[in-house]
Amino acid sequence: MVVVAQDSASVAVRGLPVAFLLTLVAARCADGFGSGDYGYLPFVVAVFALPLWYASGLARRPWHTFPWALLAVQAVLTYVPFVALGD
């Protein structure tokens, strides 16, 4: 019974960063809608994909098995928009 209480508490605690990241994604996308240039919206969503996955706590095994590969993927997702959009 104690394990169930810890699991439900950890789910509740994980909900706060996930809610924060989803709010941040929505704000960044709303900023893109205001400018009229929708080309960078997929990049905005891609930048937040791995942090959302990590914060959600789903499928933790890849995070323990391939941490450097996931960090490299996040670096690519972060810097490709700067190269592609020339900013």
Look up the domain containing 13 and give its range. Answer: 2-85
The reported pLDDT for the residue numbered 75 is 85
The reported pLDDT for the residue numbered 58 is 81
Write out pLDDT tens, residues 1-41.
434 444 666 667 778 888 898 999 898 888 877 767 777 78
The reported pLDDT for the residue numbered 44 is 81
- Count CB atoms within 10 A of the CB of residue 35: 8
CA distances from 9 to 54, 63, 72 (A): 17, 21, 31
The reported pLDDT for the residue numbered 2 is 37
Q: Total structural domains in the chain?
A: 1
Residues 2, 8: Cα–Cα separation, whole Å = 10
Q: Which residue has the higher pLDDT, 43 or 2?
A: 43
With a CB cutoff of 8 Å and minimum separation 6, the contacts of 10 are 57
Backbone angles phi, psi at 9, to 5 degrees: -70, -40
